[in-house]
Amino acid sequence: MSATEERRAAVTGIGVVAPNGISTETFWKSTQEGISVLDRVTREGCQDLPLKVAGEVRAFDPAVVEERFLVQTDRFTHFAMAAADLALEDARLGQADTAADPYSIGVVTASGSGGGEFGQRELQQLWGKGSRFVGPYQSIAWFYAASTGQISIRRGLKGPCSVVASDEAGGLDALAHAARAVRRGTDVMVAGSTEAPLAPYSVVCQLGYGELSGESDPARAYRPFTDAACGFVPAEGGAMLVVEAERSARERGAEVRAYVAGHAATFTGASRWEESREGLAQAVRNALAEAGCAPEEVDMVFADALGVPEADRAEALALVDALGDHGRRVPVTAPKTGIGRGYCAAPVLDVSAAVLAMEHGLIPPTPNVVDVCHDLDLVTGSARVAEPRTALVLSRGLMGSNSALVLRHGDR
């Protein structure tokens, strides 16, 4: 992103609410140790559905969000508020800082499933009792844009606010949108995605996806890039990041943890995984071009890792298409095999892990995966010691979107 130096988009805060940790520290500890937390679905009303394994955020304490927001918003927004608080705290931006110039801070989120649990409750009122029994907050709580709006209201952030609804890859698109807003003059963007698709209505919607894993053994349910690949496991939770103009960060003495250096998105059609090879490769090329980054400079790749043989093959080939021989040598990882795939939230958690990996000099492994059957260097077993300074994060959506994001290392 060829911005002037001082308006480069820097990551200055990370807030994670993930199945394997509801703080950035526990998330990273679990991620770098390759711990899998995939388990049988226990969310209310979901136990008897054909989906057996998921990544649930069991440690989440809703009390971190005020009661009025618990009543008025969906679980995906509760996650978003908690993650935004953690990210702003991590960036050392308190209420007094944001209140001093509220128009300089905006919010952008991506959402794939909206507020399914809230929506189901109100729709049951509608069909069970009648329209007069549907609560007014239904008019906003289940919409894709709910989390953006409620973070903005709750934290008093009055800068540009928007939602990206572009499929799972939208998680990366939201971060790119934030970087663009920063380059155009907004000092700070709170950006990312959280999802809560583990409610009965939402799960039933997903059952139609041919890519969804029906395996009931948590250790075998999500094993991309292997002969045993049988689809993906869904997850809830996500992450919010503080994306900030470098100048703003420097002026207030905040640490730059990474730079959002390049991004591109393409579209190749729903479940057309063979075609996604070309779409993904083009997204990578364009993202590298925007970042001014040569293929050989990519030190690690966070793969989309769908877990469908045709899609895995397309991704492995796309890496070679876009990076040449380097695509066979560069370390590739997919930590989401240990926590599940949280739709739009999945690539934002990958970006969080990528930043942490650059800071710690450690490429996290791909849990539950052994015997890789594609021509790529997938990090399995335990974390690999390295000095990654440039990360490439990939994401594809079931509806056909492909995105690539390039991160450069920060101060650490």
- Based on CB atoms, which residue is closest to other proteins, 35 or 134? 134
Q: Among 25, 66, 296, 325, which residue sits at the site for other proteins (rule: CB under 8 A)?
A: 66
- Based on CB atoms, which residue is closest to other proteins, 26 or 72? 72
- Structural contact between residues 46 and 198, judged by C-beta atoms closer than 8 angstroms: yes
For other proteins, which stretch binds (CB under 8 A), given 38-46, 63-71, 229-237, 238-246? 63-71
- Based on CB atoms, which residue is closest to other proteins, 94 or 135? 135
Collapsing DSSP states into helix, strand and coil, what is residue 79?
helix
Shortest distance, position 128 Cβ to other proteins, whole Å: 13
For tokens 């559905």, name the residue.
49
Shortest distance, position 139 Cβ to other proteins, whole Å: 7
- Angstrom CA distances, 180 to 7, 150, 184, 253, 401, stand at 10, 22, 6, 22, 20
Nearest to 110 by CA among 176, 62, 35: 176
Q: How far apart are CA 210 and CA 52, in angstroms?
A: 15
- Based on CB atoms, which residue is closest to other proteins, 135 or 185? 135
- Based on CB atoms, which residue is closest to other proteins, 3 or 140? 140
Q: Among 100, 132, 208, 385, which residue sits at the site for other proteins (rule: CB under 8 A)?
A: 132
Task: Sketch the per residue contact string, 135 through 164, with other proteins: x for CB under 8 A, - otherwise.
Answer: xxx-xx------------------------
Q: Does 95 bind other proteins (CB under 8 A)?
A: no
**Hey, what are 72's tokens?**
């008025």
- Structural contact between residues 184 and 8, judged by C-beta atoms closer than 8 angstroms: no
- Based on CB atoms, which residue is closest to other proteins, 150 or 366? 150
Q: Among 3, 64, 70, 293, which residue sits at the site for other proteins (rule: CB under 8 A)?
A: 70
Q: Does 67 bind other proteins (CB under 8 A)?
A: yes
For other proteins, which stretch binds (CB under 8 A), given 26-34, 55-63, 64-72, 75-83? 64-72
Q: How far apart are CA 84 and CA 16, in angstroms?
A: 9
- Structural contact between residues 159 and 178, judged by C-beta atoms closer than 8 angstroms: no
Task: Sketch the per residue contact string, 28 through 47, with other proteins: x for CB under 8 A, - otherwise.
Answer: --------------------
388: left (phi over 0), alpha (psi -120 to 50) or beta: beta
- Based on CB atoms, which residue is closest to other proteins, 140 or 320? 140
Q: Does 69 bind other proteins (CB under 8 A)?
A: yes
Residues in region 11-30 near other proteins by CB under 8 A: none
- Structural contact between residues 10 and 259, judged by C-beta atoms closer than 8 angstroms: yes
Between the two ends of the chain, the Cα-to-Cα distance in Å is 21
For other proteins, which stretch binds (CB under 8 A), given 24-32, 62-70, 307-315, 375-383? 62-70
Q: Does 72 bind other proteins (CB under 8 A)?
A: yes
Q: Does 126 bind other proteins (CB under 8 A)?
A: no
Angle at 300 between CA 330 and CA 399, to 5 degrees: 100
Q: Where would I find the H helices in 184-339?
A: 200-206, 246-251, 273-291, 309-323, 326-329
Contacts with 32 (C-beta within 8 Å, 6 or more apart), sequence order? 356, 357, 360, 362, 364, 383
For other proteins, which stretch binds (CB under 8 A), given 130-138, 231-239, 312-320, 329-337? 130-138
Q: Does 68 bind other proteins (CB under 8 A)?
A: yes
- Structural contact between residues 243 and 182, judged by C-beta atoms closer than 8 angstroms: yes
Q: Among 42, 71, 89, 289, which residue sits at the site for other proteins (rule: CB under 8 A)?
A: 71
For other proteins, which stretch binds (CB under 8 A), given 128-136, 188-196, 329-337, 372-380? 128-136
Shortest distance, position 69 Cβ to other proteins, whole Å: 7
- Based on CB atoms, which residue is closest to other proteins, 71 or 370? 71
Q: How far apart are CA 365 and CA 349, in angstroms?
A: 14
- Angstrom CA distances, 49 to 115, 132, 197, 337, 359, stand at 19, 30, 14, 21, 41
**Hey, what are 40's tokens?**
């049988």
- Based on CB atoms, which residue is closest to other proteins, 73 or 352? 73
Q: How far apart are CA 14 and CA 356, in angstroms?
A: 9
- Structural contact between residues 322 and 281, judged by C-beta atoms closer than 8 angstroms: yes
**Hey, what are 51's tokens?**
């989906």
Q: How far apart are CA 324 and CA 340, in angstroms?
A: 29
The residue count for binding other proteins (CB under 8 A) is 14
Shortest distance, position 198 Cβ to other proteins, whole Å: 23
Shortest distance, position 141 Cβ to other proteins, whole Å: 10
Applying CB under 8 A, the residues found at the interface with other proteins are 66-72, 132-133, 135-137, 139-140
